[in-house]
């Protein structure tokens, strides 16, 4: 309460300081902004899916504990005192572990809130940067958050700049997507060029190999015979001719 009174006092003091030149005031609704950002909806869906998994685990463990309680109740008359105490101790331990697990997942410092904060923080930074951009370009003196602790008893809709914030963030995200697509397209083009160069080099190598094979297929000139070999060859021909005549 003291915090709210202090903020109101500071606001009224600021109004008095700016009264001579007039002030420009705006406000946003963070909840409305988040609900209308696709990025936040996607994050919320992923977080809810994870949360549902944890809830199912908790329910399964709870059913297991309840089943053990029922079994102990029905079998109690057949068990010794020591056996009953051991079974009760085991059930108590499992209930304590389940309580710790619940706190770990959904407590004030649990995984659910921590992951939500980590996932939402980048979007909150975008909202803050968009507000600064609007305040600077349109000369706002104050911009309040309707979703915060400050109680706004009345607010004129024309001072709400939430839609402007959404447009700035959406435009920025779309620009990033376009840049990402452009980078991917350029990378694909580079890969295509490299592949083309590789094909050309392979083709050139094949041509070189073909040329080598062609050269190897060229007939090798016959070996030149010596005089002695020529005489022997002539004798052999004459001998063959005589045999044919006979």
**pLDDT tens digits for range 117-174:** 888 899 999 999 999 999 999 999 999 998 876 677 777 888 999 999 999 999 988 8
Compute φ and ψ for 107, nearest 5 degrees: -75, 180
> Angle 53-120-8 (CA atoms, 0-180°, nearest 5)?
130
Q: According to the per-residue pLDDT averaged within each range, which of 5-14, 64-73, 146-155, 228-237 is highest?
A: 64-73
Contacts of 27 (CB under 8 A, 6+ apart): 143, 144, 145, 146, 152, 155, 159, 160, 161
pLDDT tens column, 181-228: 666 666 566 666 556 555 555 566 666 555 545 544 544 445 555 656
pTM beyond 0.85: no
Distance, CA of 88 to CA of 82 (rounded, Å): 10
Could you identify the residue written with the tokens 């209930």? 95
Distance, CA of 150 to CA of 153 (rounded, Å): 9
Q: What is the mean pLDDT of residues 98-119?
A: 93
Distance, CA of 125 to CA of 162 (rounded, Å): 15
Distance, CA of 14 to CA of 75 (rounded, Å): 75
Task: Please report, for residues 16, 50, 63, the alpha-carbon distance to residue 97 in angstroms, rounded to integers and kept in the order given.
Answer: 58, 20, 14
pLDDT of residue 236: 75
Distance, CA of 192 to CA of 90 (rounded, Å): 65
The single-letter DSSP state of residue 76 is G
The single-letter DSSP state of residue 142 is E
pLDDT of residue 189: 61
Distance, CA of 33 to CA of 168 (rounded, Å): 11
């Amino acid at each position: 309460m003291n915090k709210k009174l202090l903020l109101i006092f500071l606001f009224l003091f600021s109004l008095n300081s700016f009264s001579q030149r007039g002030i420009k005031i705006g406000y946003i609704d963070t909840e409305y902004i988040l609900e209308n950002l696709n990025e936040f909806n996607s994050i919320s869906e992923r977080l809810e899916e994870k949360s549902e998994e944890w809830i199912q685990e908790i329910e399964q463990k709870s059913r297991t504990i309840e089943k053990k309680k029922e079994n102990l109740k029905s079998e109690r008359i057949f068990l010794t005192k020591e056996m009953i105490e051991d079974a009760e101790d085991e059930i108590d331990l499992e209930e304590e572990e389940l309580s710790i697990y619940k706190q770990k997942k959904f407590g004030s410092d649990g995984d659910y809130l921590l992951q939500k904060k980590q996932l939402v923080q980048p979007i909150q930074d975008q909202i803050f940067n968009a507000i600064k951009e609007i305040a600077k370009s349109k000369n706002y003196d104050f911009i309040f958050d309707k979703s915060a602790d400050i109680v706004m008893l009345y607010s004129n809709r024309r001072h709400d700049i939430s839609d402007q914030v959404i447009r700035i963030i959406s435009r920025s995200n779309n620009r990033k997507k376009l840049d990402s697509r452009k980078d991917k397209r350029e990378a694909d083009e580079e890969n295509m060029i490299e592949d083309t160069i590789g094909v050309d080099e392979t083709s050139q190598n094949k041509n070189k190999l073909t040329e080598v094979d062609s050269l190897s297929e060229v007939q090798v000139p016959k070996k030149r015979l010596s005089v002695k070999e020529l005489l022997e060859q002539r004798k052999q021909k004459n001998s063959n001719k005589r045999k044919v005549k006979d």
